[in-house]
Amino acid sequence: MSYRAPIKDMLFVMQQLAGLDNVIRLPGYADATAATVQSVLEEAGKLCGEIWAPLNAVGDRQPAQWRDGRVSASPGFEQAFRHFVDGGWQGVAHPSEYGGQGLPKLVGAACIEMQCAANLSLATCPSLTDGAIEALLMAGSDAQKRRYLPRLVSGEWSGTMNLTEPQAGSDLGLLRTRAERQHDGSYRVFGTKIFISWGEHEMSRNIVHLVLARTPDAPAGVKGISLFLVPKYLVDEDGHAGERNDVNCVSIEHKMGLTGSPTAVLQYGDRGGAIGELIGEENRGLEYMFVMMVAARFAVGTQGIAIAERAYQKARSYAKERVQSRPVDGSAQQSVTIINHPDVRRMLGTMRALTEASRALAYVAAAHSDHAQRHPDAQARAMHHGLYEFMVPIVKGWSTEMSVDVASLGVQIHGGMGFIEETGAAQFYRDARILPIYEGTTAIQSNDLIGRKTVRDGGAVAKSLIGEIGEVVQALEASPAFADNAAFKAMHRHLAAGNQSFANAVAFMLEHAGKDPNAAYAGGVAYLKLAGIVLGGWQMARALLASQRLMREDPLFHGAKIATAHCYANYVLPQAAAFEAAIVGAQGGEGVLGLHEDAF
């Protein structure tokens, strides 16, 4: 099997770090017992490992094809997607009142990770449907919900998000697509949208496009953007799809990776206007989109974790098979499998440590989201909401940047074979590269982390995290294992130092973001990565404590967890100081910032 869902690792994180027991006790999750969760993961793992994963390379080698406005998916994709829909997987974490299974986000996140690891190109399709569902749940009218949600939640129809235009990428204020109100209350939409993932395909019977556009009298800039629903086939009152709407796919992009996922250029209104309906109120589109984007950004972070896991599994298999060179310690007189060479170990250990740390942080964030939604106490909900919001740009930015590095290490472990496309390692390296870009680049995430998440509340959430990490540092020191366990010592030392670097960076941002924004934002990506490394280290330290406690139950499994935490402490956490230097020491990179444009 080319991908085996790491269910045991996932359950370890869910139970030991993300508090699965507390999540399933939240109101509304009565059906989600620990046993249910495990069997959901196992079923998801089967679908992903057996049906989706073998098609991953197929999608890469036989990309989606555009012809005369129609897009045919890669061979096998439609059938694999059918299995997904028939299994009810689209609705795992959506409300049961619209036909979903109503499971916690924590469980949904693990399922999405598996889908993305198995076949990232295919998995982006239902992920965008999730976005459309979120938007309708948040801002749709009751009638809209009734008409669209059941078929979206079942997976019968898919969804898209239409933000980007050629001149408007990160800068949505520049968008020009216009929507004209008709006498019947509907709108006619005109314009060109680019980079629309799964913007056209025939795997589902209808596609529900969510489109940002301006009404003629809207204010300029981001305050004049509204959100419209434009279906590929018009939908009647009873939710049946009929006539083709005036939205057309004029081409798909030729991309470096993720080629199984068609990226469409959509043309609205060439034949009189695409018929759309307003979602929520006029001029509040960006506000709705931001709420949706939180979920979408979290999902893209999960994609990074997924691709890192898959790259790790591939490199691990190769390292256990490929025989090359004698061991440096002279312990064998013949060539050995390369997993026995120290640098291959170091690379595999680093890949695994980064993957596990980012998974742990993402799942912990998902649990906070579940508590933020369902906790009976309003103050607790607010607290969890704040933590989730703080973590999302980190999950998005850090996990995806990490995935590029991990996929690159995966290629390196394969040596020359890694560069040959048939091997498959290169695909992960190519696919991963979009992740730190789409749904907001890492710089956009770091702007969010600084502005909305750190500075706006005066650093309250950041400081609460620093406090929690400090408690884990103390717990390491207080553990009976501390005296003679090198992993504990290394983690204690580097997590304490990392937490101090994080605290210094938070203080720097609080001081400078207002009065010297260039200085703050020049260090933004470093701040995001520093936060990721330290928050990931916090989770690895908690995993270390848990595995030490559970060691006797499963020495091989927990021994590996301890070694992986040790590896994280030595190879990843020490980078925190370098990022601190790039923020606090660099004082906003005065060197490059001060330079005249012509000097570049």
Name residues contacting its own copies, limited to 287-346 (CB under 8 A).
Answer: 316, 319-320, 323-325, 328-330, 335, 337, 339-346
Cβ proximity to its own copies, 93 vs 315, nearer residue: 315
User: d(Cα 514, Cα 455) in Å, to the nearest integer?
Assistant: 9
Rounded-to-10 torsion of CA 395, 530, 463, 296: -20
| By the rule CB under 8 A, 442 interacts with its own copies | yes
Contact of 461 with 368, CB cutoff 8 Å: no
Least distance CB 501 / its own copies (angstroms): 11
Cβ proximity to its own copies, 33 vs 317, nearer residue: 317
Report CA torsion sign: 342, 346, 347, 352.
Answer: positive
Report CA torsion sign: 104, 109, 110, 114.
Answer: positive
Strand-pair category, 157-162 with 206-213: parallel
User: Over the Cα atoms of the chain, what is R_g?
Assistant: 24
**H or E stretch including 150?**
helix 142-153
Cβ proximity to its own copies, 487 vs 535, nearer residue: 487
Cβ proximity to its own copies, 278 vs 306, nearer residue: 306
Task: Match 């989706």 to its residue by tokens.
Answer: 52
The site that binds its own copies (CB under 8 A) totals a number of residues, namely 108
Site string for its own copies, 568-587 (x = CB under 8 A): -xxx--xx-xx-xxx--xxx
| By the rule CB under 8 A, 28 interacts with its own copies | no
Least distance CB 500 / its own copies (angstroms): 14
Among positions 110, 249, 360, 411, the unique one binding its own copies when judged by CB under 8 A: 411
| By the rule CB under 8 A, 504 interacts with its own copies | no
Least distance CB 128 / its own copies (angstroms): 16
Site string for its own copies, 345-374 (x = CB under 8 A): xx-xx--x----------------------
Site string for its own copies, 247-266 (x = CB under 8 A): ------xxxxxx--------
Least distance CB 156 / its own copies (angstroms): 30
Contact of 265 with 194, CB cutoff 8 Å: yes
Any catalytic annotation for residue 439?
yes
Cβ proximity to its own copies, 9 vs 282, nearer residue: 9
Cβ proximity to its own copies, 345 vs 381, nearer residue: 345
Enumerate residues 168-227 that contact its own copies by CB under 8 A: 169-171, 173-174, 195
**Contacts of range 134-138, beta carbons closer than 8 Å, 24 or more positions apart:** 134/291, 134/292, 134/295, 135/210, 135/227, 135/279, 135/288, 135/289, 135/291, 135/292, 136/229, 136/279, 137/95, 138/280, 138/288, 138/291, 138/292
Cβ proximity to its own copies, 170 vs 464, nearer residue: 170
Among positions 125, 128, 395, 404, the unique one binding its own copies when judged by CB under 8 A: 404
Q: Which stretch binds its own copies (CB under 8 A): 100-108, 125-133, 147-155, 443-451?
A: 443-451
Provide the phi-psi class of 88: left if phi over 0, else alpha when psi is between -120 and 50, else beta. Answer: left
Site string for its own copies, 414-433 (x = CB under 8 A): -xx-xxxxx---x--xx--x
Among positions 65, 167, 182, 474, the unique one binding its own copies when judged by CB under 8 A: 167
- For 227-255, b/e burial (b = at least 16 CB within 10 A) is bbbbbbbbbeeeeebeeebbbbbebbeeb
Contact of 497 with 577, CB cutoff 8 Å: yes
Enumerate residues 454-483 that contact its own copies by CB under 8 A: none
- With CA atoms as reference, report the closest residue to 162 among 202, 132, 125, 206: 132
Least distance CB 148 / its own copies (angstroms): 28
User: d(Cα 230, Cα 177) in Å, to the nearest integer?
Assistant: 13
Cβ proximity to its own copies, 33 vs 419, nearer residue: 419
User: d(Cα 128, Cα 434) in Å, to the nearest integer?
Assistant: 16
Among positions 118, 307, 490, 531, the unique one binding its own copies when judged by CB under 8 A: 490
- With CA atoms as reference, report the closest residue to 279 among 229, 334, 349: 229
Residue type, 246: D
Q: Which stretch binds its own copies (CB under 8 A): 18-26, 28-36, 294-302, 510-518?
A: 510-518
Q: Which stretch binds its own copies (CB under 8 A): 29-37, 87-95, 296-304, 521-529?
A: 521-529
Supply the angle between the helices 378-413 and 342-374 in degrees, to the nearest 10: 160
- With CA atoms as reference, report the closest residue to 13 among 357, 379, 371, 439: 357
| By the rule CB under 8 A, 5 interacts with its own copies | no
Q: Tell me phi and psi for residue 208, to 5 degrees.
A: -100, 105
| By the rule CB under 8 A, 503 interacts with its own copies | no
Cβ proximity to its own copies, 435 vs 462, nearer residue: 435
Least distance CB 147 / its own copies (angstroms): 32
Least distance CB 455 / its own copies (angstroms): 12
Q: Tell me phi and psi for residue 231, to 5 degrees.
A: -80, 150
Least distance CB 250 / its own copies (angstroms): 15
Task: Match 């979290």 to its residue by tokens.
Answer: 298
- With CA atoms as reference, report the closest residue to 268 among 194, 218, 334, 216: 194
Cβ proximity to its own copies, 237 vs 329, nearer residue: 329
Q: Tell me phi and psi for residue 66, to 5 degrees.
A: -100, 135
At residue 379, the 3 state secondary structure works out as helix
| By the rule CB under 8 A, 524 interacts with its own copies | yes
| By the rule CB under 8 A, 501 interacts with its own copies | no
Among positions 211, 487, 495, 543, the unique one binding its own copies when judged by CB under 8 A: 487
Least distance CB 591 / its own copies (angstroms): 3
Cβ proximity to its own copies, 26 vs 577, nearer residue: 577
Report in angstroms the alpha-carbon separations of 409 from 315, 356, 406. 9, 16, 5
| By the rule CB under 8 A, 599 interacts with its own copies | yes
Out of 439, 477, 511, 597, the active site residue is: 439
Q: Any idea which residues carry the catalytic annotation?
A: 439
